[in-house]
A and B are shown apart, each in its own frame.
Chain A
């Protein structure tokens, strides 16, 4: 178990993720509370511990910002899978939504250099267009120093 996070927090994290997937957007503390029977203050306290353990990411107001691979805010990675859509945090996460749902998926983004639209269909885990490349600017040891930038 990661530091300061117990099984109750993990259960609440799992409920948060499940609700995010079902709603197609980040759930509120009240929505997670309604599915878990935990009061809103209890949800927020658990979210804070999970944030500190890098199990999800909160914004400055304490709302869900990222439940990787899902993004709470619009990004340049719009993913469609299983008849629903979500935003992903990055290209890695864009593949991750289909992987987490265990379904084929499709996502759109733009080349940061030329701004051309890139559309990828993922079938059985494989991208249909294999010409793009993935670039990671920040070394792994610093990914969580600024997860938004990473």
Chain B
């Protein structure tokens, strides 16, 4: 879960390995806000897998790669 200068840098770093998923940094910022915003809340409760999947779905992170199982 790394940050690269550009997609070309990802490709060079992979060096022929199977790529994962590349998303814009703005999408990552949205994802982090949705995923982590309640981590320090005094009334924090664990999320179910379905709730976590719904966050990914809502941000358009869908398909087999983003399936939590």
What residues make up the interface of A, taking CB atoms closer than 8 Å to B? 1-2, 5, 10, 13-14, 17-18, 21, 53, 55, 68-69, 89-97, 99-102, 109, 111-114, 116, 118, 120, 122, 125-127, 129-141, 143, 150
Q: Contact partner of B33 among A17, A53, A125, A138, CB < 8 A?
A: A125
Using a Cβ cutoff of 8 Å, how many contacts connect chains A and B? 164
Binding site for A on B (CB under 8 A): 1-7, 9-10, 12-13, 17, 19-33, 35-42, 44-46, 48, 56, 64-69
Query: CA separation between A136 and B20, bound complex, in Å?
Result: 5
Whether A96 lies near B35 (C-beta < 8 A) is: yes
14 contacts between A and B (CB under 8 A): A17-B40, A21-B40, A91-B28, A92-B31, A97-B36, A113-B13, A133-B10, A133-B25, A134-B4, A134-B22, A135-B21, A136-B22, A137-B19, A140-B66
Chain B contact surface mostly: mixed
The reply to whether A99 and B37 form a contact with Cβ atoms under 8 Å apart is yes
Partner of B29, one of A126, A131, A137, A140: A126
When chains A and B are docked, how far (Å) is the Cα of A134 from the Cα of B66?
14
Per the bound structure, the CA–CA distance linking A111 and B21 in Å amounts to 16
Bound Cα distance A131, B24 (Å): 8
The chain A residue with its CB closest to the CB of B31 is A92
Of all chain A residues, the one with the shortest Cβ separation from B39 is A100
| Cβ B1 vs Cβ A69 within 8 A | no
Query: Is the Cβ of B65 less than 8 Å from the Cβ of A109?
Result: no
In the complex, what residues of B have CB within 8 A of residue A118's CB? 3, 5
